[in-house]
Amino acid sequence: MSQDQLDQRIHDYILAHPEVLMQALQSLDERQRQAEAAEARKALKARAADIFHDKQSPVGGNAQGNVTLVEFFDYNCPYCRMMA
């Protein structure tokens, strides 16, 4: 099969089954979300001591407690500024 024939078959298939494009986009979106989550976990693990055990961070409640809530925000973000 020549490249032109293959291209035409792919073109015809996509026109006959356009839902495959949506499925492909959803699959790409899921892969990207998983990659971003893995990068976030990796960054959090690399900086865990700075984030969870910083002696200068304020503590509300039991300093020896087993639950830690960390808030991240950006002063340049209008939504973060509004919440702060």
Has residue 14 got a pLDDT over 90?
yes
pLDDT digits (tens, 9 = 90+) for 57-76: 888 888 788 888 888 888 89
Question: Three-state DSSP class for 32?
Answer: helix
pLDDT at 65: 82
pLDDT digits (tens, 9 = 90+) for 19-64: 999 999 999 999 999 999 999 999 989 999 888 888 888 888 887 8
Q: What is the pTM of this model?
A: 0.59
Residues sharing a CB contact under 8 Å with residue 13, sequence separation 6 or more, in sequence order: 20
Report how far residue 10's alpha carbon sits from residue 6's, in angstroms, rounded to the nearest whole number.
6
- Tokens 């960390």 belong to which residue? 70
Would you call 24 exposed, middle or buried from its count of C-beta atoms within 10 A (0-12, 13-18, 19+)?
Answer: exposed
pLDDT at 75: 85
CA 42 and chain centroid, separation: 12
How crowded is residue 51: how many other Cβ atoms within 10 Å of its Cβ?
15
Report how far residue 76's alpha carbon sits from residue 84's, in angstroms, rounded to the nearest whole number.
12
